[in-house]
Chain A
Amino acid sequence: MKLSNASPPFLHTDVTVMSMLGDRIFALCALLVIPTVRYGPRPLVMAGLSVLICLVCELLTGLMRKEGVPVTEWSFAVTGLVITMLMPVNAPLWLPCAACLFAELAAKAPFGGFGRTPFNPAAAGVAFATLCWPKQMFSYVDPAEPQWLPVWGECSVHTAQSAAAYLKSGLKPDILPFDMLWGDMAGPLGTGAALVIGACALLLFVRRAAHAETTLCFLAAAAALAALFPRIACSPLTSVKYELLSGSLFFCSVFLMDPVSSLHTAAGRCIYGAAAGGLLMAFRHFGAYEQGAVFAVLIANALSPLISSAVGRARGWEGSVYG
């Protein structure tokens, strides 16, 4: 028996960075099921390519930093999958790849990698793709013509306006509430099925892989603003229903509000979530694009050190200790 020395503890709770990321990856994979059944293997190929690009970038940056191959966590897979979920299923395959390259090389690597990024890399990647290729980003296949899309090639399909686009032009979306719950509507690949997203959110909260308070405050702020300032002529409740279930709002409230390293308190996370929700509604009202969630998340990311600092000052953790 050859015994070695080690420092305590000799047991650890089940929740580790890797398990938290694993839960996220599982939840994101669950979101791929409905698009795959509906459109064939294309969503899987898109997701696989995105994850592969992120992994290659991670390995390259590791080698460049002379850290060898430091893939001790799988945040690259989360980034790749989130980017895929925010793409139209008929988008050219290079589009998620370009977003992944930007996310990894511009939003993650320069800041030192996982846990040190001031901006959510996936949100940055999708924002980059939105700014550079808005036409491809907002062209959605018409769900009324269900068909399997070509796995690799270009998709020449009938396109349709998304619910978010209807709301942007002041019109009531012509979509049944049941279809909205199952994501049977034009929109990004993985953001439509509210029921599946809700189930994934529950899983993440129960497994402590995400903070419920951030998501709840995000949704509460967005719902309050939707009720107070409806974009279409309808009752406040109908406005809330359409705003929460359209676009990528619900998805972003669960999957883009990552644990941000500077927010250690529930109060900070509540303010952060509410700020992101409020910003998102502001983008919907005043922004140029039908989908502004990723921009709202990026601005909230930028605000998070200020929020953390304000909470810290209120509790005496920051600022001058001499009063």
Chain B
Amino acid sequence: MEQQKRASLKNEIVSLPSPEDLPAPPKIKPLKKGAAAPRILSAAEEAGIADEFDGMMLERKLSLFASRKTELLVACGFDEDPYTSGAEAVLRESAEDVAEGLWLAAKACGAKERLVAASSRREAHRFAACCTGTAAVAAGNRYPARTLLMQKLRRGGKKAEWIGVQACAALGAAVRGECRNETVVTVAGDGVRRWGNFRVRIGTPVGDVLAAGKPEKRVCLVAVGSSVTGRTVTDLSLPVTAATRCVIALKRPPRVPAHPCVGCGRCARACPAGVLPWLVHRELEGGSPEALRLFHVEDCVGCGACHTVCPSGIDLMAAVRRAAGLKEGRDLHETE
């Protein structure tokens, strides 16, 4: 998938004014650098830090990692979604906070090793140059890069887990007693004139963020989340959440006319979970799918890569989800 990040990374992150009706962020006690794990977790909870990639509260996430005996904690400083560039921008502009926060997070979950994953080698070098104590790698551009990177690290025998760089930066800022009740959202798409990354208070209406991107009059579709797996919104007063990574405005809904499968095999090559989406689609189309032939459907990570690359525009992710439901014992019409 072609990366569309250059335009939004051209300028620095712009902070948008907080809406008047939102309460001011609470004050927290500065977190001492040598704080023990329970104190770090409680500071994360106090500051209300949530991971920007999955919306999970950081304190819960780190406790889960601790119970899994995580050895390596990776901070994701890249966005696998071709339109989103918020993580890359945060890594560039708040590298020290990210390194500090990652160190604290690793301590909180008991991980011995830390790693920052950047979008490219250049970004990794840039980070390593200013934060010498933390190793950095390039995650690569192939979608879904995060899943592929984690697979690679786990294949190397490491118990690895990831957190977002914004969550790291927020934890790093807690050392100064700052409570960052905000998130960085990328505004992109052919429906806006000013692509960019905007720092907004959580709870700001999506419409305000979109307005910062100077939307065109003919915008007919606004999607939040990601260009591959996000969802459309028709009510722009909905609030931005910690997991709102991107607001995409389009002048025309993207439509690939549906055709029968042409047997190109792209879906299987794109899938990071080893699913054969064309086979799943064929089994379901046949009407009497054989559950034992629905290989690895339970491992589907819902990345949507199969649907995005299919030249015939077949909704393969939906087919794989239905197949996973079937394998769990639900019958065919229940999964529809």
Chain A positions near chain B (C-beta within 8 angstroms): 1-20, 72-73, 114-116, 208, 211, 259-266, 316-317, 321-322
When distances are taken between beta carbons in the complex, the residues of chain A under 8 Å from B276 are: 264, 317
Q: Please determine whether A261 and B263 come into contact, CB atoms closer than 8 angstroms.
A: yes
> Which residues 260-311 of B sit at the A interface, judged by CB distance below 8 A?
260-266, 268, 276, 278-279, 290, 292-293, 295, 304, 307-309, 311
Q: Please determine whether A261 and B268 come into contact, CB atoms closer than 8 angstroms.
A: no
Q: Please determine whether A13 and B1 come into contact, CB atoms closer than 8 angstroms.
A: yes
Q: Please determine whether A8 and B261 come into contact, CB atoms closer than 8 angstroms.
A: no
Q: Please determine whether B227 and A9 come into contact, CB atoms closer than 8 angstroms.
A: yes
B144 to chain A, nearest CB (A): 12
When distances are taken between beta carbons in the complex, the residues of chain A under 8 Å from B290 are: 321
Q: A6-B253, A261-B263 are in contact. Are A13 and B217 (CB under 8 A)?
A: no
B251 to chain A, nearest CB (A): 11
CB-nearest residue of chain B to A304: B263
A208 to B295 CA separation, bound complex (whole angstroms): 27
Q: Please determine whether B262 and A261 come into contact, CB atoms closer than 8 angstroms.
A: yes
Q: A9-B254, A16-B313 are in contact. Are A3 and B259 (CB under 8 A)?
A: no
Q: Please determine whether B263 and A259 come into contact, CB atoms closer than 8 angstroms.
A: yes
Closest 7 pairs (CB-CB, A-B): A115-B260, A321-B292, A72-B257, A6-B253, A3-B234, A9-B308, A10-B227
Q: Please determine whether B311 and A19 come into contact, CB atoms closer than 8 angstroms.
A: yes
When distances are taken between beta carbons in the complex, the residues of chain B under 8 Å from A263 are: 263
Q: Please determine whether A8 and B234 come into contact, CB atoms closer than 8 angstroms.
A: no
A228 to chain B, nearest CB (A): 31
A211 to B228 CA separation, bound complex (whole angstroms): 27
When distances are taken between beta carbons in the complex, the residues of chain A under 8 Å from B262 are: 17, 20, 115, 259, 261
A283 to B204 CA separation, bound complex (whole angstroms): 72
A15 to B308 CA separation, bound complex (whole angstroms): 10
A8 to B228 CA separation, bound complex (whole angstroms): 6
B230: Cβ under 8 A from any A Cβ: yes
CB-nearest residue of chain B to A13: B309
Out of A4, A7, A12, A260, name the residue touching B263 (CB < 8 Å). Answer: A260
A223 to B157 CA separation, bound complex (whole angstroms): 47
Out of A10, A14, A19, A265, name the residue touching B2 (CB < 8 Å). Answer: A14
Most buried by A among B83, B253, B262, B268: B262
B205 to chain A, nearest CB (A): 14
Q: A11-B83, A264-B278 are in contact. Are A4 and B259 (CB under 8 A)?
A: no
> Which residues 184-214 of B sit at the A interface, judged by CB distance below 8 A?
189
Q: Please determine whether A17 and B312 come into contact, CB atoms closer than 8 angstroms.
A: yes
When distances are taken between beta carbons in the complex, the residues of chain A under 8 Å from B265 are: 264-266
Q: Please determine whether A317 and B279 come into contact, CB atoms closer than 8 angstroms.
A: yes
B312 to chain A, nearest CB (A): 6
When distances are taken between beta carbons in the complex, the residues of chain A under 8 Å from B229 are: 8-9
A19 to B312 CA separation, bound complex (whole angstroms): 11
A262 to B262 CA separation, bound complex (whole angstroms): 8
